[in-house]
């Protein structure tokens, strides 16, 4: 449609330059969704607004072939191709009742690769949109095949009050990275991550995750939403290989947790 109008105008006006002026560049920089999700225009509007964007295979969104357990679906976002240029990364699932999964803010010392587990309600596109310091949006994507139910299944914790006496308990370990440089941190925190979508169980989830350097500077900051799976297991990579890092967490109930790593 736009293409046709473009050609028509170009021939009528006899000047491509004029056509460019008439049709703002936004048209060309808002390409159609390679995954053909009916929700793309809606969700991108929520998360990146009206801005120009491009789809990018350089941002790797790894998901399993099938969501065997829709309450604990592992995803890995690898945006190392944009190392040092990332202002913010937003990750969401088009067809989840709560689309937003997390925001990720790396500082110097972070290697932008992050793994965690999520809940999905049905098969959906998963997006990882990177906003660079230069103000460009690059969008990685993958299709996740699922039979669903993850968001409207009560957390296991609700049947088992274990979490009540262990809320915020962190187990963590530092590892070598796959490149042999820097360090990897993996941790698991006890939290029900209730979505508020299940009868009479209010929303209760971890909102803030900060990974702090030995000096107390936040090297990675994340904002989580309830689709992050119960008892989150999160893996961060750093280019900094010093020890002495710590983790700080806060949930929407105002509970704060801190743990040396």
Partner 1 sequence: MKYLSGWILLWLALPVQAALEYDLQAEQVARNTWFVEGKTEDFSQENGGNIVNTAFIVTAEGVIVLDTGVSKRYGEALRQLIESTTDQPMRLIINTHQHPDHFLGNQAFADVPIAALEQTREQIRRNGDAFAENMYRLVGDWMRGTDVVVPSQTLTPGIIDIGGHRLEWLALSGHSGADLVLFDHTTGVLFPFDMVFYQRALTTPHTPGLMQWHQELEQLRAIPFTLMLPGHGPRVEDGRALDQMQAYLEWLDRVLTDAAEQGLSMTETMALPIPATFDSIALRRAEFERTVFHLYPDYEQAVFEP
Burial class (CB in 10 A: 0-12, 13-18, 19+), 135: exposed
DSSP state of 155: P
The binding track of 139-178 with respect to partner 1, each residue x by CB under 8 A or -, is: --------x-----------------------xxx-xx-x
- Nearest approach in angstroms of CB 130 to partner 1 is 18
Answer yes or no whether residue 184 interacts with partner 1 by CB under 8 A. yes
Measured between its terminal Cα atoms, the distance across the chain in Å is 55
By CB under 8 A, the residues from 75 to 94 that bind partner 1 are: 75-76
DSSP state of 119: -
- Nearest approach in angstroms of CB 3 to partner 1 is 34
Answer yes or no whether residue 64 interacts with partner 1 by CB under 8 A. yes
The 3-class secondary structure across 15-71, one letter per residue, is CHHHHHHHCCHHHCCCCCCCCCCCCHHHHHHHHCCCCCCEECCCCEEECCCCCCCCC
**CA–CA gap between residue 18 and residue 33 (Å, rounded):** 28
Closest to partner 1 by CB, 85 vs 174, is 174
Closest to partner 1 by CB, 19 vs 190, is 190
Answer yes or no whether residue 186 interacts with partner 1 by CB under 8 A. yes
Single out the residue of 9, 35, 87, 115 in contact with partner 1 (rule: CB under 8 A): 115
Closest to partner 1 by CB, 120 vs 131, is 120
Closest to partner 1 by CB, 74 vs 196, is 74
- Nearest approach in angstroms of CB 169 to partner 1 is 11
Single out the residue of 188, 223, 246, 250 in contact with partner 1 (rule: CB under 8 A): 188
Count residues contacting partner 1 (CB under 8 A)? 26
Give me 63's structure tokens.
């998901």
8 Å CB contact between 133 and 243 = no
**CA–CA gap between residue 29 and residue 121 (Å, rounded):** 31
Answer yes or no whether residue 235 interacts with partner 1 by CB under 8 A. yes
Burial class (CB in 10 A: 0-12, 13-18, 19+), 139: buried
- Nearest approach in angstroms of CB 188 to partner 1 is 6
Judged by the rule CB under 8 A, the positions of this chain that interact with partner 1 are: 62-66, 68-69, 72, 74-76, 115, 117, 147, 171-173, 175-176, 178, 184, 186-188, 233, 235
């Amino acid at each position: 449609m736009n293409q046709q109008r473009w050609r028509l105008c170009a021939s009528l006006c006899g000047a491509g330059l004029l056509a460019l002026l008439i049709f703002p560049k936004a048209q060309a920089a808002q390409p159609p969704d390679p995954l053909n999700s009916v929700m793309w225009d809606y969700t991108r509007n929520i998360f990146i607004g009206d801005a120009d964007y491009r789809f990018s295979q350089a941002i790797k969104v790894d998901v399993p072939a099938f969501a065997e357990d829709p309450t604990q679906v592992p995803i890995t976002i690898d945006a190392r191709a944009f190392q040092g240029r990332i202002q913010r990364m937003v990750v969401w699932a088009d067809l989840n009742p709560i689309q937003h999964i997390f925001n990720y803010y790396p500082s110097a010392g972070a290697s932008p690769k992050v793994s965690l587990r999520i809940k999905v309600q049905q098969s959906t596109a998963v997006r990882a949109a990177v906003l660079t310091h230069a103000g460009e949006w690059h969008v990685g994507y993958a299709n996740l095949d699922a039979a669903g139910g993850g968001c409207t299944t009560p957390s296991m914790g609700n049947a088992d009050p274990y979490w009540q006496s262990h809320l915020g308990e962190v187990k963590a370990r530092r590892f070598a990275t796959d490149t042999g440089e820097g360090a990897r941190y993996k941790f698991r925190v006890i939290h029900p991550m209730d979505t508020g979508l299940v009868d009479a169980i209010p929303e209760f989830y971890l909102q803030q995750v900060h990974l702090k350097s030995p000096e107390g500077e936040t090297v990675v900051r994340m904002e989580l939403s309830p689709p992050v799976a119960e008892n989150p297991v999160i893996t961060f990579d750093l280019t900094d290989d010093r020890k002495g890092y710590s983790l700080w967490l806060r949930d929407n109930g105002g509970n704060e947790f801190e743990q040396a790593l």
